[in-house]
Amino acid sequence: MCDTRPITFDVDPAQRVRRATFRGVITEPVLLSTYGRLISEPGYDFTLNDLIDMRTVSRLEVGPDAIRQLVDLFAHPGEGATNRCAIVTATDHVFGMARMYEMLSWNSSELIHVFRDIEEAERWLRAADHPPR
């Protein structure tokens, strides 16, 4: 049975990676409510690295205000968590919006980078040392 939700999550505890797969049309309400629910779960681990696979997004109906709201969702001072977030995209529009998220998150504890190649993103997540900002 195929999962038809626009955003799904898997966690690989051995690799300490949470993978989000985005597919189809992603709207602002879907994006914000999905992540709002995710981070409010009792077992949510802010220290896991994130691999966000957006290669199968057919349309991204998300504007700059929603990107700012998403940045605010992950602003948790005092958590002490640091992690990496690799976002993989296939289209220029989605790449541009992901870069906006990366730039607006410049002062968060999350180190974010946008990629076109999934293998490169996975290698970056496995890298032991965080490069200087």
d(Cα 86, Cα 81) in Å, to the nearest integer?
Answer: 16
Hey, what are 68's tokens? 């700012």
**H or E element in which residue 15 lies:** none
Could you read off the pLDDT tens digit of each residue along the chain, which spans 133 residues? 567 899 999 999 999 999 999 999 999 999 999 999 999 999 898 889 999 999 999 999 999 999 999 999 887 654 566 789 999 999 999 999 999 999 999 888 889 999 999 999 999 999 855 444 4
| Domain boundaries, position 106 | 7-126
Is residue 49 in a domain? yes
Q: Which 3 state secondary structure label does DSSP give 6? A: coil
Assess if residue 18 is contained within a domain: yes
- In this structure, are strands 7-12 and 83-88 parallel, antiparallel, or unpaired? unpaired
**Rounded distance between C-alpha atoms, residue 65 and residue 80, angstroms:** 26
User: Looking at the domain assignment, is residue 82 inside a domain?
Assistant: yes
Domain assignment of residue 69, yes or no: yes
Q: What pLDDT was estimated at residue 133?
A: 45
User: Quick check: is 25 in a domain?
Assistant: yes
Q: Write down the number of H helices and E strands in the chain.
A: 4, 5
Structural domain contains residue 131: no
- Please give the Cα distance from 70 to 28 (Å, whole number): 10
CATH number of 17's domain: 3.40.50.10600
Count structural domains, the chain.
1
Any domain includes 2 = no
Confidence (pTM) = 0.90
**pLDDT value, residue 132:** 45
Distance of CA 89 to the CA centre of its chain: 11
